[in-house]
Amino acid sequence: MKMRELGSSGVEVSAIGLGCMGMSHHRGNTASRKEMIALLRSALDLGVTFFDTAQVYGPFTNVNAGPKQPRPLVENSHT
């Protein structure tokens, strides 16, 4: 996976990110928590380290859609 610097922060993230709006905020039904965790794990396995989340999707809803903090899953990712 190609990496890019995030602004001038010195933080490097994957050139391809995962938009997380559909995990909690959608016009129809959202997928189950189990399916969302599987999606996050697949993205990480493919080298994605940049996850686009926002408070507008529901306060802390996207953050809570993920696993209950198994650190190896999220330690090198950026939201």
* CA distance linking residue 49 with residue 15, whole number of Å: 9
Decide if 57 is catalytic.
Answer: yes
Tokens of 46: 């493919």
Tokens of 45: 């396995």
Under a CB-based contact definition with an 8 Å cutoff, are residues 74 and 62 in contact? no
Find the catalytic residue in 44, 48, 49, 57.
57
Q: Which residues are catalytic?
A: 57
